[in-house]
Amino acid sequence: MRNLNVVKIIGAGLAGIEAALFLAGHGVKVHVFANGKVYKESKSAKMSSSGELYDKLLTQELSLLGSPLARKKDELERNGANCIDQLLVSYGLDMINDNENIEVFDASVKTINPLEPTIIATGAKTEQELFEHLIDKYGTMKCVNALPIYPVVKDIEEVYLFDKGDGTYLLSLSEEEYMAVVNETIKQAVAQRKSVDNFKLYQNTIEDLALHYKENLRSYSMKPQRTIEGLKPYATLVLKKVEGGYMLENISSDLPQVRQFQILSKLKAFSNFKFVSPAGVSKGNYINPIHMTTQFCQSRQEENVFFAGGIMGIGGSLNSIASGIWTAMNMLRKLEHKQMVALPMGCAFGQFIQKLTVDASTRTRPLIEYEDIIKIDQSKDVDKFVRTAFEKSLSALEQFKEEYKNGKYV
């Protein structure tokens, strides 16, 4: 048995279970605190072809790294099981309850001791008292109660778009058009407030920005960017090509879809547009990992504290499992007084962690989308594409495993 400290894991969802199983499998004593309930990870949107590819590829990669939950998920899917996430949680709870290195407590943890090795894997529904403790420790800009969900639209007038050449497009707005959008946003927000008694403004939604100051959108969602021949318009809308249409970056709203439609219809390029999916906010208790953690999911302020799962703005069971095993790997290195080893970018796992923890942003980032990580030509066979992609992942992950085991440092 390793002579290591006991690791406290707060949260008994998929991320916490995966982390506990990894550490226990390496001889570490683990205390899991369910905080009186089993945490459920944030749900992902309906899976696209890109999502199906990413899911299958990441399952194989995590299985290669020894993830028991990823292997079980693959088995359940191959057998055509229903309610897979529920079955996974049940299976994982049975495993941690039967593991001699893991002790499970049906108890709440409301504060964090920075001297104790701790993984916070409490999901998006983290208990309010614990979340308020995190706010006190880390600040309101790093702990938020909502994450933006950007809208996806189709049937827009593409002739108005400026192609940056990287899948990103710019839509130039005149002052008149910008003000039309702002004024309509204010109109719809005021109407919603009058019709809904408990209507709440969420930080950095377009209605929150517009109601506080009409120029706010130009400093955030519609910041001017240079387009043709270096010209900088009064305001700019950024669109990203995704499956099914265009995603409007930094545009989030908690207004009903019909009110969002009225706002976007003020854009001349959107005269005949349709929503693939409207803007929204994912309401819960989250941290912003780009500002709070290192690429190893370790707190920047307290080296013994790590994060995993839905509290980091992760949606989907497999992403939660990936987050759990990655955080546990790094906790083990910390306990062994070894430097941590970075994941390779030549695999979906490495790209996911990069997107989660490293990609620069001065804003609270949205829930990770599959299309941000991997893309697939719709004409190609998904299974064949996965096999080819996994062959590339294999060598990268085998090298990582060797470096992790033998202690090669970054």
Query: CATH number, domain at 246?
Result: 2.40.30
pTM of the model: 0.84
Residues 131 and 24 in one domain: yes
> Which of 254, 278, 302 finishes a domain?
278
The tokens for 15 are 């991320």
* pLDDT tens for each residue of 110-133: 999 999 999 999 988 899 999 999
What one-character DSSP code corresponds to residue 312? G
For residue 368, the cross-strand partners are none
Range of the domain at 272: 151-278
Q: Does any domain span residue 1?
A: no
> Which of 240, 259, 278 finishes a domain?
278
Q: Does any domain span residue 306?
A: yes
Residues 293 and 182 in one domain: no
- Identify the pLDDT of residue 3: 46
Residues of the chain where predicted confidence (pLDDT) is lower than 70:
1-4, 36-50, 229, 359-380, 382, 407-410
Q: How open is the CA angle 353-354-360, to the nearest 5 degrees?
A: 135
- Identify the pLDDT of residue 4: 58
- Identify the pLDDT of residue 301: 92
* pLDDT tens for each residue of 155-195: 999 999 999 888 899 999 999 999 999 999 999 999 999 99
- Identify the pLDDT of residue 259: 98
> Which of 278, 305, 332 finishes a domain?
278
Q: Does any domain span residue 189?
A: yes
Residue partners of 147: CB distance under 8 A and separation at least 6: 281, 282, 284, 286, 313, 364, 365, 366, 367
- Identify the pLDDT of residue 306: 98
Counted domains in the chain: 2
Residues 318 and 379 in one domain: yes
- Identify the pLDDT of residue 16: 96
| Burial per residue of 213-242, b for 16 or more beta-carbon CB atoms within 10 angstroms, e otherwise | eeebbbeebbebbebeeeeebebbbbbbbb
CATH number of domain containing 313: 3.50.50.60
Residues 134 and 256 in one domain: no
Rounded CA-CA distance 247/262 in Å is 18
Residues 143 and 158 in one domain: no
Rounded CA-CA distance 318/59 in Å is 7
Residues 11 and 139 in one domain: yes
Rounded CA-CA distance 209/185 in Å is 10
Residues 379 and 260 in one domain: no
Residues 143 and 288 in one domain: yes
Residues 324 and 388 in one domain: yes
